Amino acid sequence: MTSTPKKTPIKDEVIGSPGTPGSPTVMSSDPKNVEDLTVFVENLLGQMQDKFQLMSDNILTKMDEMGSRIDELESNITELMQQAGIEDAPPNN
């Protein structure tokens, strides 16, 4: 992982509370909490990406297996048609 630049402390901000219009609330912007949240979100996104990749790989594997099974089924049908003496001719219109 790359190193992050040194962050300067952010001063406390005064904002209005969503429940009481016009009443100020002090909201602390502690850099440690911001860093913890950033690390948490990065880890969560990494886990989600890993799970998505695993699911994607599983889907592709299943599709490859299905393609092989279809090829095998087609081969078996062709073999059965040959054994029955049925030619692979185009349908009559």
With a CB cutoff of 8 Å and minimum separation 6, the contacts of 81 are 87, 88
Residue 15 within a domain: no
* In a domain? residue 16: no
User: Average pLDDT for residues 25-47, to the nearest whole number?
Assistant: 82
Tell me the pTM.
Answer: 0.50
pLDDT digits (tens, 9 = 90+) for 66-91: 999 999 999 999 999 999 888 655 55
What residues make up the domain containing 42?
32-84
Average pLDDT of the residues in 55-67: 98
Mean pLDDT of 8-22: 48
pLDDT of residue 16 exceeding 50? no
Q: What is the count of structural domains for the chain?
A: 1
Tell me if 72 is assigned to some domain: yes
Residue 42 within a domain: yes
24 occurs within a structural domain: no
Query: Of 10, 16, 15, which Cα lies nearest the Cα of 29?
Result: 10
Q: What is the average pLDDT score of the chain? A: 77
45 within a domain of the structure (yes/no): yes
